[in-house]
Chains A and B, each alone.
Chain A
């Protein structure tokens, strides 16, 4: 019995490690619709990021805007992304203009849901404002089903689990 107690932590630890290797962080797909307000001017650059409970960037989920020339204008995110600039081709799309909407698919790591993490929508328009927190909310199962109002260029965002 004593032996079992000695082995158990090792076993648990081992199986946990094994489990985490076999089964990498599982991701959930969400359909995400962004509806912009009816402003005039260029298309808006929108960056969707995952933030930890300390509001530090963890992962880029989606970038609306293909022209990397302007990425540095999204200042806060650029501090995180600009250092290493990983390839984001697969998670980027064209900008949309005022009044338009776009539907994308974003992948959210399941283990971050309901763990105090945040999802942030950052927006910037050429020669206009830059909103660090156009929209930011806690990553909870409840929040991931609803409709959230933005405070900058975003009118609202709707999410729907796939």
Chain B
């Protein structure tokens, strides 16, 4: 909730101010060039800390008829306003040691004047300034909310500068540039706000005034400025401006504006007549001005230039992200509040298809004015306004719950529902399995036994995602809840089989397992973790295997079952043979981008995807732990040795191999338990766990991880699941 709150604030603020920010940033870029241009033709000729004010004043008065003022710029140039012998008043750059004229002070280039006006007031005078001030303030908020979103995304303040996980170009650079330019942007925005506040008199100023009416006390023995200690000791680098006495009258004083003080000084005795400290607000204002405009520092001007320009990129990439998210949310109608919804849909499945299906129903119902809340079975809780519950669930293995539904049955008995709810259960599965939809049946009976729930329509089991069955049942259910149903069609892509050539097949090892290396003629975009569906001749249905991608080839690990048609067929293949297959993307089991570290857990042929992933990690110098419950024998691992160039113990990575027969007689579960401290610590630090192998192993491992997580980290495993740290691909 907080996550989306900051994101929405960020979006809303940026959306409302985008147009003005574009103007401000474009003009900002132009204006940032001014100090850079100014400094490239500097009139700085001497080090000002070596020039006393006495030297400068004497030199100027000798050179010119009359001197009105002297000013030191932030680039250490000396500008003076003088009256020449011809009686003309001029502003010129001078060499302070000899008073020589270096050049005339040029007017600002009209382009910069025009741009400044646009930048600070949009040509709307005071009204425009108020606008720009508010936009600056919004920019502050945008930067701060952006920072908060970023902290959440990166998983804490300390990880702000850790690796960026986002892959999408816009998103990635929105984050990367954002975290580096945040500081200059906040400075630009804050100083902009300060300057605006000052313009509108909203900063309290207690300005003490120099007292011109005070009369000198000290006696005067004038022998020239060079004899007066004050003028001798005060160097030009401490001066901002000197206003010369108006006349030769003793009561006309020098006015010195130094870095932090203002002084009135007697022109013949050097006596300090009046001395005030500049108020803090004035110093702050000067700092704001310099920081905002880049005056006096080429480096800072360049940073300002880049930061200004980056705003344009942020607006562009932010807009792209917004559009993308909009397009997604049109599909995923993530819904509202669990306590505000009438219809609750709980999903027990990790397949994208079931979720896609749930979203389809949700969207359809929302269009008909229903309020719908979608979640996973594990997140079952009380629902204040719910009248209907729809459960969509698959079944794993021997009638087990899918990972995101494991806790449902225990939750069901403990949570109290404020109102009676009518339920319906839809089970997904395949009749090929012995325990077809058994978990769905369990859920259905448990709900029937529960006093808060009443059945609406009977359970239906959907075989192989049959759309005919689905639509028929949905029509019934929609009618029962008083809604209309349009026929559902999954967006499954048309499958096109292709020919893959066998380039290597190993002999069977002691575990009846062998490796198969396939090559496709066309460039493949597949990754390790994807799934290949291979159709053996004279069969209807393809079999699925996880793949490793090694260079341009695909490697599978296959165990030959005596009665397995496909595995037998594959074990007989010869070099040069072709197989009929297609590759399905399995995005949730791809190697996470830039993970902290990864723990791989597998048994048997589940090792396959990791054969492709581990070399990747080694190349990138990333940490990993690899657990493999091999086969029965110590020799089982030899099959995979060519693909696992592992030197155990390198860079705190480790490999744990177990085998079930003597002498070791160990299962992968034991090894995991032995390493529980390490695993718990890694999990806590955001490590990803990837599990691939048999269903039985998966259940054990998940239970074990749950235990470890609670015992060591006092955190339920669901916490890490919800953060996407657990990836499972079991069969």
Q: Which residues of A contact B (CB under 8 A)?
A: 29, 31, 33, 35, 38, 40-42, 67, 69-70, 89, 98-99, 101, 103-105, 126-127, 158, 160, 162
A127 nearest in chain B by CB position = B126
B274 to chain A, nearest CB (A): 12
Instruction: Determine the chain A residues whose CB is within 8 A of the CB of B126 once the complex forms.
Output: 126-127
Q: Say yes or no: A101-B66 contact (C-beta < 8 A), given A38-B209, A158-B246, A160-B247.
A: no
Instruction: Determine the chain B residues whose CB is within 8 A of the CB of A70 once the complex forms.
Output: 125
Instruction: Determine the chain A residues whose CB is within 8 A of the CB of B107 once the complex forms.
Output: 89
Within 8 A of A (CB), among B179-201: 199-201
Instruction: Determine the chain A residues whose CB is within 8 A of the CB of B66 once the complex forms.
Output: 31, 162
B365 sits at the interface (CB 8 A): no
Q: Which residues of B contact A (CB under 8 A)?
A: 66, 68-69, 81, 83, 87, 89, 107, 113, 117, 123, 125-126, 199-201, 205, 207, 209-210, 212, 243-244, 246-247, 255
Asked whether, in the complex, the Cβ of A103 is within 8 Å of the Cβ of B201, the reply is: no
Which single member of A31, A42, A98 contacts B199 (CB below 8 Å)? A42
Tell me what chain A mostly uses at the interface: helix, strand, loop, or mixed: mixed
A27 nearest in chain B by CB position = B87
Q: How far apart are the CA atoms of A41 and B117 in the complex, in Å?
A: 18
Asked whether, in the complex, the Cβ of A103 is within 8 Å of the Cβ of B243, the reply is: yes
B89 nearest in chain A by CB position = A105
A160 nearest in chain B by CB position = B247
Asked whether, in the complex, the Cβ of A40 is within 8 Å of the Cβ of B246, the reply is: no
Instruction: Determine the chain B residues whose CB is within 8 A of the CB of A42 once the complex forms.
Output: 199
A24 to chain B, nearest CB (A): 15
Instruction: Determine the chain A residues whose CB is within 8 A of the CB of B255 once the complex forms.
Output: 101
18 more A-B residue pairs beyond the given contacts A89-B107, A104-B68, with a C-beta to C-beta distance below 8 A = A31-B68, A31-B246, A31-B247, A35-B212, A40-B201, A41-B201, A67-B113, A69-B123, A70-B125, A99-B209, A103-B243, A103-B244, A105-B83, A126-B125, A126-B199, A158-B246, A160-B247, A162-B83
Instruction: Determine the chain A residues whose CB is within 8 A of the CB of B123 once the complex forms.
Output: 69
Instruction: Determine the chain B residues whose CB is within 8 A of the CB of A69 once the complex forms.
Output: 117, 123, 125
> Can you offer 12 A-B residue contacts whose CB atoms are under 8 A?
A31-B246, A42-B199, A67-B117, A99-B207, A103-B81, A103-B243, A104-B68, A105-B83, A126-B125, A126-B126, A158-B246, A162-B87
Instruction: Determine the chain A residues whose CB is within 8 A of the CB of B69 once the complex forms.
Output: 103
B31 to chain A, nearest CB (A): 15
Q: How far apart are the CA atoms of A69 and B117 in the complex, in Å?
A: 9
B293 to chain A, nearest CB (A): 16
A138 to chain B, nearest CB (A): 22
Asked whether, in the complex, the Cβ of B243 is within 8 Å of the Cβ of A104, the reply is: no
Instruction: Determine the chain B residues whose CB is within 8 A of the CB of A104 once the complex forms.
Output: 68, 89
Query: Can you list the 5 inter-chain pairs with the closest CB atoms, starting with the nearest?
Result: A105-B89, A103-B68, A33-B246, A29-B87, A38-B209
Instruction: Determine the chain B residues whose CB is within 8 A of the CB of A99 once the complex forms.
Output: 207, 209-210
Instruction: Determine the chain B residues whose CB is within 8 A of the CB of A35 once the complex forms.
Output: 212
A14 to chain B, nearest CB (A): 31
Q: How far apart are the CA atoms of A70 and B520 in the complex, in Å?
A: 75
A68 nearest in chain B by CB position = B113
Asked whether, in the complex, the Cβ of B207 is within 8 Å of the Cβ of A38, the reply is: yes
Q: How far apart are the CA atoms of A160 and B68 in the complex, in Å?
A: 13
Instruction: Determine the chain A residues whose CB is within 8 A of the CB of B244 once the complex forms.
Output: 103
Q: How far apart are the CA atoms of A38 and B211 in the complex, in Å?
A: 12
B254 to chain A, nearest CB (A): 12
Instruction: Determine the chain A residues whose CB is within 8 A of the CB of B212 once the complex forms.
Output: 35
B107 nearest in chain A by CB position = A89
Q: How far apart are the CA atoms of A31 and B81 in the complex, in Å?
A: 13
A162 to chain B, nearest CB (A): 7
Interface centre among A42, A67, A103, A160 (most CB of B within 10 A): A103
A96 to chain B, nearest CB (A): 10
B284 to chain A, nearest CB (A): 15
Q: How far apart are the CA atoms of A69 and B113 in the complex, in Å?
A: 10
Q: How far apart are the CA atoms of A99 and B506 in the complex, in Å?
A: 94
Q: How far apart are the CA atoms of A127 and B301 in the complex, in Å?
A: 31
Q: How far apart are the CA atoms of A156 and B73 in the complex, in Å?
A: 28
Q: How far apart are the CA atoms of A122 and B123 in the complex, in Å?
A: 24
B241 nearest in chain A by CB position = A100
Q: How far apart are the CA atoms of A106 and B460 in the complex, in Å?
A: 99
Instruction: Determine the chain B residues whose CB is within 8 A of the CB of A127 once the complex forms.
Output: 126, 200
Asked whether, in the complex, the Cβ of A40 is within 8 Å of the Cβ of B205, the reply is: yes
Q: How far apart are the CA atoms of A70 and B117 in the complex, in Å?
A: 11
Instruction: Determine the chain A residues whose CB is within 8 A of the CB of B113 once the complex forms.
Output: 67
B470 to chain A, nearest CB (A): 70
Instruction: Determine the chain A residues whose CB is within 8 A of the CB of B83 once the complex forms.
Output: 29, 105, 162
Instruction: Determine the chain A residues whose CB is within 8 A of the CB of B200 once the complex forms.
Output: 127
B263 to chain A, nearest CB (A): 14
A158 nearest in chain B by CB position = B246
Instruction: Determine the chain A residues whose CB is within 8 A of the CB of B205 once the complex forms.
Output: 40
Instruction: Determine the chain A residues whose CB is within 8 A of the CB of B87 once the complex forms.
Output: 29, 105, 162
Instruction: Determine the chain A residues whose CB is within 8 A of the CB of B209 once the complex forms.
Output: 38, 99
Instruction: Determine the chain B residues whose CB is within 8 A of the CB of A98 once the complex forms.
Output: 207
Asked whether, in the complex, the Cβ of B243 is within 8 Å of the Cβ of A101, the reply is: yes
Interface centre among A35, A105, A162 (most CB of B within 10 A): A105
Q: Say yes or no: A160-B207 contact (C-beta < 8 A), given A69-B125, A89-B107, A127-B126.
A: no
Instruction: Determine the chain A residues whose CB is within 8 A of the CB of B207 once the complex forms.
Output: 38, 40, 98-99
A76 to chain B, nearest CB (A): 19
A101 nearest in chain B by CB position = B243
Q: How far apart are the CA atoms of A158 and B197 in the complex, in Å?
A: 34
Q: How far apart are the CA atoms of A101 and B262 in the complex, in Å?
A: 13
Instruction: Determine the chain B residues whose CB is within 8 A of the CB of A103 once the complex forms.
Output: 68-69, 81, 243-244, 246
Instruction: Determine the chain B residues whose CB is within 8 A of the CB of A29 once the complex forms.
Output: 83, 87
B70 to chain A, nearest CB (A): 12
B108 nearest in chain A by CB position = A66
Q: How far apart are the CA atoms of A69 and B107 in the complex, in Å?
A: 16
Instruction: Determine the chain A residues whose CB is within 8 A of the CB of B243 once the complex forms.
Output: 101, 103
